[in-house]
Amino acid sequence: MIVSITQYGAQTNGALCTEAIQWAIDACFLAGGGEVTVPAGRFRTGGLRLRSNVTLHLLENAVLEGSRDPEDYLGFWKDAVEPIPANASTYKVDTALPEANGDSVYPYSRWNNALIRGIHAENIAIIGERGSEINGMNCYDPLGEENYRGPHPINLWFCKNITLQGYTIRDGGNWGHAIQNSRNIHISGVTVIGGHDGFDVRTCDDVLVEDCMFDTGDDCIAGFDNIGVTVRNCTMASGCSIFRFGGTDVVIENCKCSHSKYACRGGLPLEKKVAGELCLSNPESAESITAFLYYCDYRARIRKTPGNILVRNCSFVRMKKLFNMPFGHRWTCNRSLADITFEDCLFDGVRAPITASADPQTPFKLCIKDSTVIARKGSEDIAFADLQDCNELILENVTLKNFNNPRVKCPKDCILTTNQTTALLIERAE
């Protein structure tokens, strides 16, 4: 079955089209599945629910423009086609630890509001043609996260067999993609501009991100408790961290990363948040905080020891720090990372050393090989690495440039293997 949202009354006259678009999705779902098309033009909508076996197809120059009224994203509470559970208002996902009580572990909470959401759906797709867009309009919600963040453009819970392709997300009220407890996710050729995080997955398996572009004021790719993740051939720019990530069996390759022209909207004064304005970074001081920040808190019962992460053939320009694992911080307090490898990478413009603190119960190994690290002008005196906890450090053919006194600080019992083109001073902690 193929239907157009205009067949169900959706118009480009500025009127809210939520009901018409949802009717089209529901008709397709009740007929056994198919495709719902969005033609060229701007269609204003509140929250939509995507259902199993349905593809939402944005044709060339089609735009779904989110309402700027956060109350327009609550219609799922009255869903007659797939009613939500009776205990939805208090249901906490059972994969979270008891210590986790943030809104994001309650799948039906206001925090999970979205322009497009999926719940217990399978074989779903959002496909965009050239010029297609999902615009969150920087929706302001005084009851949202940090008292200003609005709905996500896309939020998926308990879904499987997900295809996301070809569209642009612009100015999301919160994360561009918030996907939890789902599997078999393939996102390709998608662009995320402005807003907050680009792509977040938590407790997800079999994730492929390829040929995407993220230019965001917050993290580009984030999440933890993920198993089997590949990120490749992407261009990323962040006002926070390129990767704020944790998982097992992760490969990141052939990516070009830099700082963003956007900054986190949390720094805006209230009146600008209410108005939905962008937050632009200062071009003179713009940088990403970290190329890779390890992430793992109590919102998931970690199913497998985090590790076997490989970052290869990637460039990171104007990052404050190459890698950081601050175990004990509220965002890194559950399980620490077992190992990570950087191979054939360029880090141009760092101004702080690599740092790591770990859970004593989890040995940590850091490996960097065949890579170049360049200190930023004015930061020539920094250490290359200052490791509070590290059981094994492998440095093979790591070229350090613009460091006045390149040195590594590490524990006295750290197993250190070096094969260096640049001499390093090793300082052992007592």
Residues 155-175, mean pLDDT to the nearest whole number: 98
Gap between the Cα atoms of 138 and 279, Å rounded? 11
- The answer on pLDDT for 422 being more than 80 is no
> Do 219 and 253 reside in the same domain of the chain?
yes
- The answer on pLDDT for 248 being more than 80 is yes
The model's pLDDT over 249-292, given as tens digits with 9 standing for 90+, comes to: 999 999 999 999 999 999 999 999 999 998 898 887 889 999 99
Gap between the Cα atoms of 44 and 25, Å rounded? 16
Checking 102-108 for CB contacts under 8 A at 24+ apart, the result is: 102/299, 103/145, 104/178, 104/180, 104/299, 105/299, 107/157, 107/158, 107/180, 108/76, 108/84
pLDDT of the residue at 284: 78
The model's pLDDT over 401-418, given as tens digits with 9 standing for 90+, comes to: 999 999 999 999 999 988
The model's pLDDT over 14-54, given as tens digits with 9 standing for 90+, comes to: 999 999 999 999 999 999 999 999 999 999 999 999 999 99
> Do 121 and 221 reside in the same domain of the chain?
no
pLDDT of the residue at 96: 96
> Do 43 and 159 reside in the same domain of the chain?
yes
> Do 242 and 146 reside in the same domain of the chain?
no
CATH number for the domain including 407? Answer: 2.160.20
Structure tokens at 409: 């600080």
The proportion of the chain whose per-residue pLDDT surpasses 70, expressed as a percent, equals 99
- The answer on pLDDT for 345 being more than 90 is yes
Domain extent, residue 221, equals: 197-430
- Count CB atoms within 10 A of the CB of residue 328: 11
pLDDT of the residue at 368: 97
The model's pLDDT over 1-15, given as tens digits with 9 standing for 90+, comes to: 999 999 999 999 999
> Do 170 and 210 reside in the same domain of the chain?
no
Domain end point (choices 168, 193, 218)? 193
pLDDT of the residue at 307: 98
The owner of tokens 């925090």 is 111
Q: Which amino acid is at 35?
A: E
- The answer on pLDDT for 247 being more than 70 is yes
- The answer on pLDDT for 426 being more than 90 is no
- The answer on pLDDT for 156 being more than 70 is yes
Helix and strand numbers (H, E) in the chain are: 2, 35
Structure tokens at 348: 């141009």
- The answer on pLDDT for 103 being more than 70 is yes
The model's pLDDT over 112-153, given as tens digits with 9 standing for 90+, comes to: 999 999 999 999 999 999 999 999 999 999 999 999 999 999
> Do 81 and 186 reside in the same domain of the chain?
yes
- The answer on pLDDT for 324 being more than 90 is yes
- Count CB atoms within 10 A of the CB of residue 122: 16
- pLDDT bracket for residue 419 (50, 70, 90): confident
CATH number for the domain including 135? Answer: 2.160.20.10
pLDDT of the residue at 137: 97
Domain end point (choices 193, 219, 252)? 193
Counted domains in the chain: 2
Helix (H) or strand (E) holding 401, with range, is strand 392-401
Structure tokens at 167: 């569209």
- The answer on pLDDT for 421 being more than 80 is no
- Count CB atoms within 10 A of the CB of residue 12: 16
Contact 373, 385 (CB under 8 A): no
Mean residue pLDDT of the chain comes to 96
pTM: 0.97
The proportion of the chain whose per-residue pLDDT surpasses 90, expressed as a percent, equals 93
pLDDT of the residue at 282: 84
- The answer on pLDDT for 90 being more than 70 is yes
Residues 191-201, mean pLDDT to the nearest whole number: 96
Q: Which amino acid is at 290?
A: T
pLDDT of the residue at 286: 86
> Do 145 and 240 reside in the same domain of the chain?
no
> Do 216 and 134 reside in the same domain of the chain?
no
- The answer on pLDDT for 205 being more than 90 is yes
Gap between the Cα atoms of 47 and 18, Å rounded? 7
> Do 365 and 395 reside in the same domain of the chain?
yes
> Do 135 and 206 reside in the same domain of the chain?
no
> Do 90 and 223 reside in the same domain of the chain?
no
> Do 385 and 298 reside in the same domain of the chain?
yes
Domain end point (choices 145, 170, 193)? 193
